[in-house]
Structure 1
Amino acid sequence: MPSWEFSHCQLFHLLHRRFKSLRHLKAIHAHATVHGLTSLYPSPTLAKLIYTLTLLLPTAINHHASLPAAVTASAGYTLSLFHVIPFPSAFPYNLLMRLHTLLSSPLSALLLYACMRHSGVPPDFHTFPFALKACTRLRHPALTRAIHCQEIVFGFADNLYVRNTLISTYSSFYSMPEARTIFDECPSLRDVVSYNILMDGYVKADQIEHARNLFDGMPKRDVVVGYTFGWINADG
């Protein structure tokens, strides 16, 4: 049984306040293990440790042109934590998918998504954007369409975050008719981000007239992203 002297609340406080390196996290992990917090099921401890590590990694990656040994070690430790979770929920799966994409391993992210589906773990609204971003990195339209179909099956077709990611992914392949179809399907399910993603896609696909027409029909043009507005007007 876990010791009442060291609770989940105390663990989370340590992670938020004192986590500065992989060495610190390993010490906190060891302390949590000694007090029985990692052996409970269901337990948020291991997932919280993974989450904390994934917060550190993007910062380390952005400060190095190539992956340093510390980043590689942290990624390996994150994977080892994931593999000891008896029945992981969507949350740690999503974190690992995001991690693989950040580490320029989008195929690994999609293999993890496939493992998640094979294990019968139901996806949530974060799962599909992470999978779609991996498709963007791979530049794989067919996989994008397959994940798009699964997103509909699982009932996330009306989720704005998922829809915007789909528009962005199709736009990255210059599949502008598919991006526009998603945009047009439900006018109530789009925001300024939706407009800017689609306009940016049109500009990059050299379809400036479509971008300008979309801009002209935008309800709140005062909040358009500056660079998109600049591109449209510079061409005109």
Structure 2
Amino acid sequence: HTYANPGVLITPEVLDKTTGQTWDALVDANPWLKQQKLVAKPDQLIKRRGKAGLIAVNKSYSEAKDWVMERMCKEQKVETVTGQLTHFLVEPLVPHQQDEEFYICLHSLRYYDEVLFYHEGGVDVGDVDAKAERLQLPTGTAISMAAVTEKLLGKVPAAKKENLASFIVSLYKFYQDLHFAYLEINPLVMLADNTVVPLDMAAKLDETASFLCAQKWGEVDWPPPFG
């Protein structure tokens, strides 16, 4: 019940026609760029990009390209931090309704992991620490669909509960297996056919687990910091 959502990373190489990453080369490798509406945004550990006007939605290829190029390697102030925008993601637009958006966050504390879930998501989700439902999982405790449904999904429509619970259980197992320390998806979209689409994610890996997970991680491309 997941959605294969391709995307492409745009770097400053597009400013130099002698490099391998030109816009023409990107289109050749990703023909969907010209076949559907797109979303463009920086990929530089910037939180609340939507509120900062740093997400372009429902754009054609030429509009998304122009939006990226207008900002590439330019200074931008986000809240109190000023820095250069150098890395962007361009992804397919996933049409959906506001009531199909959810929020989920997994994070690890000293003696337990915690799952935070809220039945609304998106840029206006607000203070999730104050209002999210919580499920604490002491070290060594297995997660179950029953616990997820009871503790987290009380305000989710009944027709979505089973698939959403199944996704959260699988997500937590993935989180454990790859030794994440933090993983937030906002919004997490569940479409009318129960397809699950993580539209925006931020995560932290536990680098001390490299000796356990290096092969599973593969070549990790760490996003550049902003500011």
TM-score (norm 1): 0.24
With a CA cutoff of 8 Å and minimum separation of 6, indicate the structure with the bigger relative contact order: 2
The structure carrying a bigger helix percent of its residues is: 1
Q: From the CA coordinates, give the structure whose radius of gyration is larger.
A: 1
The structure carrying a bigger strand percent of its residues is: 2
